[in-house]
Amino acid sequence: MSSSITQLAQTLRERRTSAVELTRQAIARAKKLAGLNALITLDEAGALAAAERADAALATNPASVLAGIPFAHKDIFCTNGLRTTCASRMLETFVPPYDATVVAKLGDAQAVSIGKANMDEFAMGSSNENSFHGAVKNPWDTTRVPGGSSGGSAAAVAAGIVPFATGTDTGGSIRQPAAFCGVTGLKPTYGRVSRFGMIAFASSLDTASVLARSAEDCAQVLAAMAGHDARDATSANRLVDDYVGALAKPLAGLRIGVAREYFGAGIDAGVGAVVQAALGEYEKLGATLVDVSLANAALAIPAYYVIAPAEASSNLARFDGVRYGHRCADPKSLEDLYTRTRAEGFGAEVKRRILVGTYALSAGYYDAYYLRAQRVRRLIANDFNEAFKTVDVIAGPTTPSVAFKLGEKSSDPLAMYAADVNTVAVNLAGLPAISLPAGFSANLPVGLQLIAPAFAEARLLSAAHQFQLATDWHARKPEGAA
């Protein structure tokens, strides 16, 4: 399904197609491409019922631009009556009794969810190989990873199953798979989109948003998702900008900071060349390139991999076999219930992060690790604040390489973590960022990352949109994609 949201919405309003027809196409496509393993749960009956309601609304009301548009939810958002597994054995049969705010908002807009997208277990991973339901494959090369943790969402969009999908970004989990799969992925400011009903990984970092083909499509979806939610204490109580209206803003006068640290050692030469060429295109369109420095960028990975596991160890303590989720058979004691349930229910990467996080928070090590990491987090945020005194956005490669082979880094967690080197600092600082397709290296997509000050999503989206009006990288599709 390669048409944009705006194009699909127009065909629906002109009665050239129906929501039911679009939904049937998406379901058929999902079944045909089941080998990608992009979806965990296909909700055929629920989707067709929602499509019928959308058609009824389209016949009588000036409905939302998303009305009748099929999409997929990352399987981290609670969906009332439909299982939410978080790609784990722990929640393999969990059926929530309520909708996450993101689910409710897109439901109110009458978008049609066809099911739940695969992901790394509890959103912990950079390759989507950590899922209890099996690895997702990259539509551009099925021997390669789609990126994580929102790899199922990215693969579903890239393969043309749906025009957009929800995702979450804790350290790059929207932007990295967007780069690997050649789609557009937006990470908003922390607090811009409600986290209510989104199963927590690291509560001070988790951010919900969207993957789609273009910045224009991302703007349409963010407009529906964003806003204050009293049920989320970290939700920002401020007005939602006109993201769609801001897309037309020209690039003339835009100051783009080129962070030298994002082009240092470890960046693949082909990736660097593609991104430099994209920045040259921005200059042709009227933007000005300015050298900037993010002096503490090298500290982002170690700080993140102390803070995120620490918060995960706290959040995942709720999965104990008592209230919901997996429960071991015939526990001999309360301690046996806890230990065997968690040993059976969690995968290797989740266990690794729980152990690291618990150690970092333990007596005698809190000051040495967690407190120090939080101080580094402040330094990283200060670097961004200083840079934004002279530039409007900051640019660099989203990832240091193109998508790597399935299994290539599975035995080396540190190499896997390094895939997030250009993305985690954004989450530590709570800033918005977007990854957009910028070209190809070794016949695989390369992503350009743009970062903006807090709550400047409109600026990001317009900068990305103007680039996409002048190029067609975002319109390129893998062989066999709809």
Residues assigned a catalytic role: 74, 149, 173
Give the torsion through C-alpha atoms of 468, 4, 444, 27, to 10 deg. Answer: 170
The residues facing 415 across adjacent strands are none
User: What is the gyration radius of the CA atoms in the chain, in angstroms?
Assistant: 21
Q: Do the beta carbons of residue 300 and residue 380 sit within 8 Å? A: yes
β 288-292/255-259 pair status: parallel
Is the Cα dihedral 276, 416, 210, 18 positive or negative? positive
Residue 40 CB neighbours (<10 A)? 25
- Integer Cα distance of 404 and 457 in angstroms: 30
CB 157 within 8 A of CB 114: no
| Residue among 384, 363, 353 at smallest CA distance from 450 | 384
Task: Assess contact for 59 and 18: CB atoms under 8 A.
Answer: no
Structure tokens at 147: 């990126």
In 3D space, the residue among 145, 162, 215, 152 whose CA is nearest the CA of residue 187 turns out to be 215
Question: 302: closest CA among 175, 420, 127?
Answer: 420
DSSP 176-221: HHHHHHT-EEEE--TTSS--TTBPPS-TTT-EEEEEESSHHHHHHH
Q: What angle do CA 166, 163, 47 make, to 5 degrees?
A: 75
d(CA 377, CA 306): 11
User: Measuring CA to CA, how many Å separate 63 from each of 67, 69, 102?
Assistant: 6, 12, 18
Q: How far apart are CA 482 and CA 476, in angstroms?
A: 11
| Three-state DSSP state, 63 | coil
Ordered strands of the 70-74 beta sheet: 39-42, 112-117, 70-74, 164-169, 207-212, 184-187, 433-441, 444-451, 393-397, 255-259, 288-292
Give the C-alpha separation, 375 to 350, whole Å.
25
Closest CA to 90 of 338, 314, 321, 310: 321
In this structure, which amino acid lies at residue 481? A
